[in-house]
Amino acid sequence: MAEAGIRRGKLMLSGGVAVGRSLHMQRLFSTFALALVATLLCAPPALAWGPRGHRIVARLAEAQLTPQAWAEAQRLLALRGAQHLSDVANWADDLRNTDPALFQRTRRMHFVNFHSGDCIYDPPRDCRRGECAVAAIEKYSAILANRANPPAKRAEALAFVVHFVGDIHQPLHADYRHDAGGNDFQVRWHGRGTNLHKVWDSLMLDSTHLSAAQYTRKLQAEDSSIATGGTPVEWAEESCRIDRDDGVYPRTHFIDQAYVDRELPIAEQRLRQAGARLAALLNRDLGNG
Ligand code: ADE
Ligand code: ZN
Ligand code: ZN
C-alpha cells in the first residue's frame, strides 16, 4: 500500500510541475507533495480506542487496584519512567512510530475478527497463530503474573495488558463483519467523511470535550454495577454482540445526534467495564506478592 501510493504520487508530480520553476523549488515542492500524497493515501487503519479512551480505562482501573497490586504496578511502571497506568496506556499504539518492527509483530493483537455473526469465538478460525486481542491478553497477563520473569519484561507486559483490555472492549475491535472493524465502513460525521471505526475510537468521545481526567470522574460518579469477572473470550464476544445488535452500524451511513445519544452511552459503559475488568485482572496478577 505504502509503495503503491508513493509511486502514484511520483507519477502525478512528474506530469504536473510547472515549467520555469527552479530545480530546487521543484524538488522542494515534490518532496512536500509526495509526503502529503503518501500520508493521505496511506493513512493506516486506526488500531485502538483513541488516546483519550485508553487513558480513561487506565484511570478507572488504577482507582480500583488493591494497595498490594498498586505497589507492584508502581514498581514496574517506574522501570518505564512512568508513574501511572495512563502513562503507558497508549504505548502499544505509539510503537507504530517508535518501534515499527515491534509494532508489526504485535499489530494483530489490537483486535479480534469473528468470522461469523454468531459471535462465538473459535480460535483456529478467529485467532490464527495466536495473533489476536484475546490471546494477547492471556499471553501478557501470564508474563505479568510470573515473578520469575525479568522485571523489564513484566513491565512491558503491563503496558500491553492495559492497552489490549481497553481495545477488546471497543466493540469494533471484536467485530464479525469483513470491514476491518468498521475502518472500511464510510460514514458522514458533521458534514465530513470519515469511517465508523474512528467514530468509535475517538470522535464520539472527543466530541464531549472532556479531558481523560474529567471523563473518568464523570464515569465514576455515574457508576453502575459492573460484572468484573469474565474472560477475554467473553469480553470479545460481548463486543461482537454489540456490533450485531445495538445499532452500531447506521444503515444510512450518517452519524447524527440521535446516533450519538444512543451509542455514546454504550461506548461509556464499555469504558467502565474495561476499567473494572482491567483492575480485577491486575489485582490477580500483581496481588499476593
Ligand atoms: N484491522 C482489521 N480488523 C480490525 C479491527 N477489528 N479493528 C482495528 N483494526 C482492524
Ligand atoms: Zn490498540
Ligand atoms: Zn481502533
From ligand 3's centre to the CA of 201, what distance in Å? 5
- Mapped onto helix, strand or coil, the DSSP state of residue 158 is helix
190 labelled catalytic: no
User: What is the pLDDT at residue 35?
Assistant: 52
Q: Give per-residue pLDDT as tens, 138-154.
A: 999 999 999 999 999 99
Question: Ligand 2 center to residue 65 CA distance, Å?
Answer: 22
What mean pLDDT do residues 94-103 have? Answer: 98
The span from the CA of 70 to the CA of 193, in Å, is 43
Q: Can you say whether residue 177 is alpha, beta or left, with left for phi > 0 and alpha for psi between -120 and 50 degrees?
A: beta
Angle separating helix axes 133-145 and 232-245, nearest 10 degrees: 150
Determine the pLDDT at residue 94: 97
Across residues 252-275, what is the average pLDDT? 97
> Residues 163, 169, 177, 277: which is the catalytic one?
163
The rounded Å distance from CA 79 to ligand 1 centre is 31
Here the cell at position 212 is: 481523560
- 193: helix, strand or coil: strand
Which pLDDT score is estimated for 4?
Answer: 29
Q: Is the pLDDT of residue 92 over 70?
A: yes
Catalytic-role residue among 167, 175, 243, 285: 167
Q: Which of 198, 231, 265, 225 is nearest to 49 (CA)?
A: 198
Alpha-carbon span 27 to 245, nearest angstrom = 53
CA-proximal residue: ligand 1, atom 5 (nearest)? 181
Whether residue 190 has pLDDT greater than 50:
yes
Told to judge if 167 belongs to the known catalytic residues of this protein, a careful annotator would answer yes
CA of 57 to the centre of ligand 2 (A): 13
38 neighbors 74 (Cβ within 8 angstroms): no
Quick one: which atom of ligand 1 is closest to the CA of 45? Answer: 9
pLDDT attached to residue 95:
98
Confidence (pTM)? 0.85
Nearest to 263 by CA among 203, 214, 215, 221: 203
13 contacts 33 by C-beta, under 8 angstroms: yes
For residue 230, give the amino acid letter.
G
Q: Atom 3 in ligand 1: which residue has the minimum CA distance?
A: 180
For the sheet containing 254-255, what is the strand order? 192-195, 186-189, 254-255
Residue with cell 480485577: 280
Share the mean pLDDT of the chain.
87
Residue 20 has pLDDT above 60, yes or no: no
pLDDT of 15 strictly over 70: no
In short, whether 170's Cβ falls inside 6 Å of ligand 1 is no
Share of the chain above pLDDT 70, in %: 83
**Phi, psi for residue 193 in degrees, rounded to 5:** -85, 140
Region 175-203: mean pLDDT is: 97
For 124-138, the pLDDT digits (tens) are: 999 999 999 999 999
**Closest among 84, 92, 91 to 111, alpha carbons compared:** 92
Confidence band for 168, pLDDT divided at 50, 70 and 90: very high
Where do the domains of the chain lie? Answer: 1-36, 51-286
Average confidence (pLDDT) over 89-118: 97
CB of 181 within 6 A of ligand 1: the answer is yes
How far apart are alpha carbons 114 and 173 in whole angstroms? 10
Sort 30 into a burial class: Cβ within 10 Å, 0-12 / 13-18 / 19+.
middle
Question: What pLDDT digit, counting tens, does each position of 193-218 carry?
Answer: 999 999 999 999 999 999 999 999 99
Atom of ligand 1 nearest to the CA of 112: 6
Residue nearest to atom 6 of ligand 1 (CA): 181
179 lines ligand 1 (CB under 6 A): no
pLDDT value of residue 77: 98
Q: Which of 10-24, 67-81, 167-181, 232-246 has the lowest mean pLDDT?
A: 10-24
Residue 80 C-alpha to ligand 2 middle, in angstroms?
Answer: 19
Please give the average per-residue pLDDT across 89-117, as a whole number: 97
Reported as a pLDDT band with limits 50, 70 and 90, residue 30 is low
State residue 11's pLDDT score: 28
> What whole-number distance in Å separates Cα of residue 236 and Cα of residue 114?
9
Q: What is the pLDDT of residue 62?
A: 98
Fold of 51-286: P1 Nuclease (1.10.575)
Alpha-carbon gap, residue 28 to 31, rounded angstroms: 5
Does residue 22 surpass a pLDDT of 80? no
Which whole number is the average pLDDT over 109-121? 96
User: Is 179 considered catalytic here?
Assistant: no
